[in-house]
Amino acid sequence: MSEPARSVADRPAARRRRFTVDALFQDTSPRAVGVRDLVTAKEIRLDRIEPDPHQPRRTFDQERLEELAASITREGVLQPIAVRYDADRDRYVIVHGERRWRAAQMAGLTAIPAIVRDVPEERRLLQQLMENVVREDLNAVDRAAALRALKAQMGDVSWERVAEAVGIKRSRLFQLLGTEKLPDAVREDIRAGRLSEKQSRVLQGLAPSAQAALARLIVDEGLGQAEAQRLARAIRDDPEFAAMEPPALLDRLRAMREVVERRPARAAGPSAVAAALARVLDEAAPTGDGAAYIRDAVERASAPAPDGDILVAQIQALALSLAQLADAGLAERERRTLAPRLRALRELIGAALDAHRAR
């Protein structure tokens, strides 16, 4: 005999599924699997965002900013910046991404995607320092400043601890810190990208005036690393360089560069000898026949014909005079006048020997 049918009232209540308002708008498509929306992801008006005054990065390459702005114009901002909210001032302060914020302004955007983070002040500075130190596109001067600030932020720990914290070698750390000892003008060249940190290493240990002069040769005249090292060694070997003013020192380095380079342009022959002779005599460089200039100079000075014995006597006399220069106590003006002519004499000797060998 079948069981009597239950009335609706006698049936157990069905378990009801609860829905929230958010569930009504939830993405249930396959692309949403494993994806969670962030409540901290925003699009914030640019005029509500400002840079952090304590940001370690101090310089921004204008050309690279313009390139980034052009990219943003084409593709938009591909990576959100990170900001924190300052409730007292009702402003969003940049934690990471100031370059993108600046470039977005240049591109004419009115808002930018951002992630809002609640980072304690002591951790915020540490994160900024860490990000800027490990980024190779940050110039060496600003990276050195960031390393020093990071050291203080970590409780003035050893440099070894700092190097370990940012994941760079100890030797690399001290290379970066070496830029702090350079003159202001040289550091500005590094910030502007005109001089690399690697190029600046040759300046270490020189007097400030010598550092500035040699840096100018590297930046303005494309002085190579090997040439710069040779000039730096010559500067260290001659204490007179330390007392020279930068303009005079720069002129002397330029003259020395021509000697140490041994440029092929100084071809053997009368023209090379004539050019060197003109510098020794402090005359204008000859523009015509080099041999004719030499004959004319010999006639004007009534110089005797070459003779082995006479040359030996003249060389000995010159050598004895030069040997006494160290104790001669010449005035600064006399030294400045004499130095380029002596260097030109060295050039003349080399040119004459080269011409003789070429016969």
The DSSP string of 187-234 is HHHHHTTSS-HHHHGGGTTS-HHHHHHHHHHHHHH---HHHHHHHHHH
What is the predicted pLDDT for the residue at 2?
A: 52
Spatial separation of the C-alpha atoms in residues 69 and 71, rounded to whole Å: 5
pLDDT tens string for the chain (359 positions)? Answer: 555 555 555 555 555 555 565 565 566 777 767 767 666 788 999 999 999 887 767 777 788 889 999 999 999 998 899 898 988 889 999 988 889 999 999 999 999 999 998 877 667 766 776 766 666 567 889 889 888 888 888 888 999 988 888 888 899 899 999 999 999 999 999 988 889 899 999 999 888 888 998 999 888 888 788 888 888 888 887 777 777 777 888 888 887 776 555 444 445 567 778 888 888 888 887 877 888 888 888 888 888 888 888 888 888 888 888 888 766 666 666 766 777 777 778 778 877 776 665 56
Spatial separation of the C-alpha atoms in residues 331 and 238, rounded to whole Å: 18
State whether 274 and 255 are in the same domain. Answer: no
Domain count, the chain: 4
Strand order in the sheet with 49-50: 41-45, 111-116, 81-86, 91-96, 49-50
Secondary structure of residue 262 in the 3-state scheme: coil
Choose one of 161, 181, 201: the last residue of a domain. 181
State whether 108 and 162 are in the same domain. Answer: no
Q: Which residues of 90-110 are buried (b: 16+ CB within 10 A; e: fewer)?
A: eebbbbbbbbbbbbbbebebe
Q: Domain for residue 108, yes or no?
A: yes
Choose one of 97, 118, 139: the last residue of a domain. 118
Distances (CA, A) of 262 to 19, 146, 224, 258, 343: 86, 42, 14, 7, 13
Q: Domain for residue 23, yes or no?
A: no
Choose one of 236, 263, 290: the last residue of a domain. 263
What is the predicted pLDDT for the residue at 125?
A: 65
Write the Ramachandran bin of 269: left for phi over 0, alpha for psi from -120 to 50, otherwise beta.
Answer: left
Q: Domain for residue 34, yes or no?
A: no
Q: Domain for residue 28, yes or no?
A: no
* 79: containing domain: 41-118
Strands (E), the chain: 41-45, 49-50, 81-86, 91-96, 111-116
Cβ burial, residue 129 (10 Å; 0-12/13-18/19+): buried
As separate numbers, helices (DSSP H) first and strands (DSSP E) second, the chain gives: 16, 5
The single-letter DSSP state of residue 355 is H
Spatial separation of the C-alpha atoms in residues 40 and 184, rounded to whole Å: 42
State whether 318 and 345 are in the same domain. Answer: yes
- Pull the structure tokens for residue 112: 């930018």
Q: Domain for residue 149, yes or no?
A: yes
Q: Domain for residue 9, yes or no?
A: no
Question: Is the Cβ–Cβ distance between 129 and 153 less than 8 Å?
Answer: yes
State whether 256 and 237 are in the same domain. Answer: yes
What is the predicted pLDDT for the residue at 306?
A: 80
Amino acid at the residue 242? A
Q: Domain for residue 237, yes or no?
A: yes
What is the predicted pLDDT for the residue at 337?
A: 72
Q: Domain for residue 135, yes or no?
A: yes
Spatial separation of the C-alpha atoms in residues 232 and 214, rounded to whole Å: 8
- H helices of 2-155, where? 21-24, 62-75, 98-106, 121-134, 140-153
> Which residues 6+ apart lie within 8 Å of 114 measured at CB?
41, 42, 43, 44, 49, 80, 81, 82, 83, 92, 97
The candidate with the shortest Cα–Cα distance to 134, out of 90, 167, 161, 92, is 167
Q: Which residues are catalytic?
A: 98
Write the Ramachandran bin of 75: left for phi over 0, alpha for psi from -120 to 50, otherwise beta.
Answer: alpha
State whether 278 and 354 are in the same domain. Answer: yes
Distances (CA, A) of 80 to 43, 63, 94, 165: 9, 22, 11, 26
Cβ burial, residue 232 (10 Å; 0-12/13-18/19+): buried
Predicted structure pTM score: 0.52
The torsion angle over the Cα atoms of residues 30, 36, 40 and 46, rounded to 10 degrees, is -20
